[in-house]
A and B are shown apart, each in its own frame.
Chain A
């Protein structure tokens, strides 16, 4: 087991601006077996310049690992200005002890990320596999697609203990998203596969969906007029109405929306 700790330095917060640091390429896959000195020498983008990782983060390493599965990266301090944490990771574990910036866990295909605080927009964007746990709130575009793509998330699992913003699971094609709290507008927008469960409230959920399952247990604002009521069903102990839609999409609409 190799445990790597990255503690963000004060330097990142000096000055008026909060220029984000981008931590793509700093994953268990990349860090596996590296010494603290090697990691410190790695380059990361801070605005339009590349800096040594060690100049922006205090780096310490305990133990060693042969494969990324046995690597754990612990992120300490305020990571809300750090983007792309765990982007593209395929194995191992990353723990963010506080908040984290945008694109956390984007395009990850395996392993596990735990964010103890809140996560910025596009957490779990285009996720293929693995697990992303956000103990606080998630901002907009959780598990969403990149602009213009046909499909967003296709596999893996995202759990948000708090609330999530707009467009949860935009163009979801597979995998699972669970939000314990409320969500913003258009959860499951254009989804065509996978499963999204919202325990709290939602606004206009399921717009333009053509497949997959979207479950809203709380109340709904702006229920879309283009869904057809089908039956009453009990899901996880809650009595819900099942709708088919979104019929705005015409005959190809085969999505299932469960709503109170």
Chain B
């Protein structure tokens, strides 16, 4: 069986690039180096959308790519406020066409960051971000803190490749040379491995972080005996650990971005790291979920000036999450058509928003059937990026890697489909 090495896993933000796969009869038969979820995706046992489809009278009928693409273009070109959403599980080459399409349509373009790490981006825009690439952690870090993140379950290889368990230049002993701290609202599997576990009452992270900052900045005296369910001594202990570390890192997850005080939690956590520079070296990094959520934010930033939630209604980019993110325009019923690419908002958005999404003309491009394809009017199947199509993705630390094509596909790539929709839209608008 031919073996393909140095494969990049197209599943989570770790973007492990040391995977080997064996391919036979145009199918991946064996995977090594990936975690369980990564392996499952690469093996490709999930069911697929078999054909382009258009819904008529409440029923899907199969159709040609051409027909589906034309219908999609008609829907989008007619809209006064189309939404183009998803993007986090496809490659940057598709993002670029998507952004151009949004610009031509005068639409709103947004990615899944707006429901996971959007708060992180907003926090960065408030205070900045002292961060690093994952290799800095591997080679230097002696203190590793996971806050509201559970890599053992969500990012299978993270600790082994990049952090606590990995071995590095200045940390040849791996975890023997490091301390692990976990802060969370419950004792997760990651927390069970920690040298120090701090259990915070749900939705009190902001208060705990404010207290930690006050302690680090020399005002421990004002802190009450307990903050957010954490005894003051524990907070002082953690603050001391952080100040004494040679190189510390906070990895945070959706436990922090999606609890009460959202982006303010992150702003406080980033500010804490910044304050720690008075004493030592520290960094902070979001644990990004989908493998290319970071990539969309990067492309969108260099192409439009803004990372997500960009409204092109007036021909230029207006950025204002809270107004221009996907759930904002859905929950306020502002958009009158939608294109969803490589994502399943029907599974993740508030019920009211999903109900509304079902009411407006909806085009979905995805390799897999999901709740959103069910409520769509046009469904266009695509090749799986990173397995059936190549392209660029950005790791959670913004290191870009090129995904490989491992097997052939009967389906068009996201990029090709979007290019053809764009072409049709330009024709409809008399621009081509």
Q: Which residues of A contact B (CB under 8 A)?
A: 15-20, 45-49, 102, 121-122, 140-141, 146-148, 185-186, 189-190, 204, 207-208, 222, 224-228, 246-251
- How many Å from the CB of A207 to the closest CB on chain B? 6
| CB nearest to A139 among chain B residues | B322
Please indicate the chain A residues that have their CB under 8 angstroms from the CB of B312 in the complex: 48
Extra 19 A-B pairs, beta carbons < 8 Å, given A147-B320, A247-B214, A247-B217:
A17-B80, A19-B334, A19-B335, A20-B334, A47-B79, A121-B322, A146-B320, A147-B126, A190-B126, A207-B210, A207-B264, A225-B211, A226-B211, A226-B213, A226-B214, A247-B222, A249-B217, A250-B213, A250-B218
Can you sample 21 A-B contacts with CB below 8 Å? A17-B333, A17-B335, A18-B332, A19-B334, A19-B336, A46-B80, A48-B82, A48-B107, A49-B106, A141-B322, A185-B260, A185-B261, A189-B264, A204-B206, A204-B207, A222-B206, A224-B210, A226-B222, A227-B222, A247-B219, A248-B214
Of B126, B260, B321, chain A has the most CB atoms within 10 Å of the CB of B126
For B107, list chain A residues within 8 Å (CB). 48
Contact A48 B206 (CB under 8 A): no
B359 partner, pick from A16, A102, A140, beta carbons under 8 A: A16
A148 vs B320: C-alpha distance when bound (angstroms)? 11
Q: How far is the CA of A89 from the CA of B406 in the complex (A)?
A: 59
**CB-defined contacts of B333 to chain A, threshold 8 Å:** 16-18
Instruction: Report B95-132 residues with CB < 8 Å from chain A CB.
Output: 105-107, 122, 125-126
Instruction: Indicate if the CB atoms of A140 and B268 lie closer than 8 Å.
Output: no
Partner of B261, one of A19, A45, A204, A225: A204
Expressed in whole angstroms, the minimum distance between the Cβ of A35 and any Cβ of chain B is 27
A45 in contact with B314 (CB, 8 Å): yes
- How many angstroms from the CA of A204 to the CA of B259 in the assembled complex? 14
Contact between chains at B207 and A45 (CB < 8 Å): no
Interface of B is mostly: loop
Q: Is the CB of B227 within 8 A of A225?
A: yes
Q: Closest CB-CB distance, B100 to chain A, in whole Å? A: 15
Report how far A20 CA is from B323 CA in the complex, Å. Answer: 11
Q: Contact: B125 with A148, CB < 8 Å?
A: yes
The answer to whether residues A226 and B334 also contact, given A47-B81, A207-B210, A246-B210 and a CB cut-off of 8 A, is: no
- State the 7 A-B residue pairs at the shortest beta-carbon distance, nearest first: A48-B106, A47-B80, A17-B336, A248-B213, A250-B217, A226-B214, A47-B81
| Beta-carbon contact of B122 and A17 below 8 Å | no
Quick check: A225 and B223 within 8 Å, CB to CB?
A: yes
Q: Give Cα A20 to B80, complex, Å.
A: 10
Which B residues are CB-close (under 8 A) to A226? 210-211, 213-214, 219, 222-223
Contact of A49 among B80, B204, B222, B335 (CB under 8 A): B80
Residues of B within 8 A of A148 (CB): 125-126
User: A148 to B82, alpha carbons, bound, how many Å?
Assistant: 26
Contact B204 A222, beta carbon cutoff 8 Å: yes
Could you mark each residue 145-176 of chain B with 1 if its beta carbon is under 8 Å from any beta carbon of chain A, else 0?
00000000000000000000000000000000
Q: Which residues of A contact B126 (CB under 8 A)?
A: 147-148, 190
Proximity bits, B193-231, A CB within 8 Å = 1, else 0: 000000000001011011101100111001110010000
**Known contacts A19-B81, A147-B125, A251-B217; A225/B222 CB under 8 A:** yes
How far, in angstroms, from A211 to B322 measured CA to CA in the complex? 26
Instruction: Say whether B291 faces chain A, with CB atoms less than 8 Å apart.
Output: no
**CA distance in complex: A222, B213 (Å):** 17
Secondary structure dominating the interface of A: loop
| Closest residue on chain A to residue B208 by CB atoms | A225
In the assembled complex, which residues on chain B have CB atoms less than 8 Å from the CB atom of A19?
80-81, 334-336
Distance of A118 Cα from B267 Cα, bound (Å): 30
B398 to chain A, nearest CB (A): 19
Tell me, in angstroms, the Cα distance from A28 to B253 when the chains sit together. Answer: 48
Nearest Cβ in chain A — how far from B323, in angstroms? 6
Chain B residue numbers with a CB within 8 Å of A15 are 336
Shortest beta-carbon distance from B71 to chain A in Å: 19
* B407 part of interface (Cβ distance < 8 Å): no
The answer on a CB contact under 8 Å between A208 and B222 is no
- Is the beta-carbon distance between A140 and B322 smaller than 8 angstroms? yes
CA distance A150 to B379 in the complex (A): 45
Q: Which of B210, B260, B332, B334 contacts A225 (CB 8 A)?
A: B210
> Once the chains bind, are B211 and A17 in contact (CB under 8 Å)?
no
A186 and B261 in contact, given A102-B323, A121-B323, A227-B222 (Cβ under 8 angstroms): yes
**Of residues B81, B223, B335, B360, which shows the largest number of chain A Cβ atoms within 10 Å of its Cβ?**
B81
**Are B223's CB and A248's CB within 8 A?**
no
Residues 250-296 (chain B) with a chain A CB within 8 angstroms: 260-261, 264, 267-268, 271, 275
Q: CB of B346 within 8 A of chain A? A: no
Asked whether B313 is an interface residue with its Cβ less than 8 Å from the other chain, the reply is yes
Docked Cα-Cα span, A141 to B314, in Å, equals 23
- A224–B334 CB distance below 8 A: no
The docked-state distance in angstroms from the alpha carbon of A167 to that of B268 is: 15
Instruction: Please state if A225 and B360 are interface contacts (CB–CB under 8 Å).
Output: no
On whether the beta carbons of A48 and B223 are closer than 8 Å, the reply is no
Chain B residues lying within 8 Å of A141, measured Cβ to Cβ, are: 322
User: Nearest Cβ in chain B — how far from A25, in angstroms?
Assistant: 12
Q: Please, what's the 1-or-0 string for B352-392, where 1 marks a CB less than 8 Å from any CB in chain A?
A: 00000001100000000000000000000000000000000
B contact residues around A48 at 8 Å (CB): 79-82, 105-107, 312-314
Q: How far is the CB of B148 from chain A (nearest CB, A)?
A: 18
When chains A and B are docked, how far (Å) is the Cα of A146 from the Cα of B320? 8
The winner among A20, A186, A226, A227 for most chain B CB atoms within 10 A is A226
Q: How far is the CA of A15 from the CA of B261 in the complex (A)?
A: 36
State whether B217 touches A248 (Cβ < 8 A): yes
Q: In the assembly, what is the distance between CA of A250 and CA of B107, in Å?
A: 43
Which chain A residue lies CB-closest to B219?
A: A247
Which residues of chain B are near A207, meaning CB under 8 Å?
206, 210, 264, 268
